[in-house]
Amino acid sequence: MAVSKSELQRRIQAFSDACSRKGLRVTHQRMEVFWALAVSDAHPDAESVYQRVRSRVTGISRDTVYRTLATLESKGLIRKAAALGGSARYDANMANHHHFVCTACGLIKDFSSKVLDDLPIPKTVESFGRIDASQVQVRGVCVSCAKRKPKKRRRSPK
């Protein structure tokens, strides 16, 4: 799903500002990779990001897109969104939020919740290391998958 024009502009400005604070140049390739993530809430995998960027910048290599995603994620400028198996998925929404993950199709949707934001982190978790952020992941079956009729199973011959 596409984000609003104002939200896209907010994300791009926040990205540019964060790059400056972290001493990371805002190159054309980095901006294009970020744009490919920020333009929607689809949480694409690296290959989907590459395809979207390549449609706008025909000479960009797959390696450049993959390395750029890794750099942006390591600098805290984008996040990996946990999916169920398969490829890593990426998220340009750096605002505090949580994820609903469909266990049938892998859809990832953002949602906000003040109650979940305020959940206390158990002291035992602090013994694992420094806590920088927390996020709740809710798993279930999305509306589209729930509407689909289950396929009939074929009986195996005896």
**What are the structural domains of the chain?**
1-93 (1.10.10.10), 96-145 (3.30.1490.190)
On the question of pLDDT at 155 being above 70, the answer is no
State pLDDT tens for residues 87-140. 889 999 998 999 999 998 889 999 999 999 999 999 999 899 998 888 899 999
Q: Tell me how far apart the alpha carbons of residues 93 and 149 are, in angstroms, rounded to a whole number.
A: 33
Q: Looking at residues 26-49, what average pLDDT do you find?
A: 95
- Rg of the Cα atoms in the chain: 18
Provide the whole-model pTM. 0.82
pLDDT of residue 148: 87
Helix residue ranges per DSSP H, 57-139:
62-74, 114-117, 123-126
On the question of pLDDT at 157 being above 60, the answer is no
Q: Looking at residues 49-71, what average pLDDT do you find?
A: 96
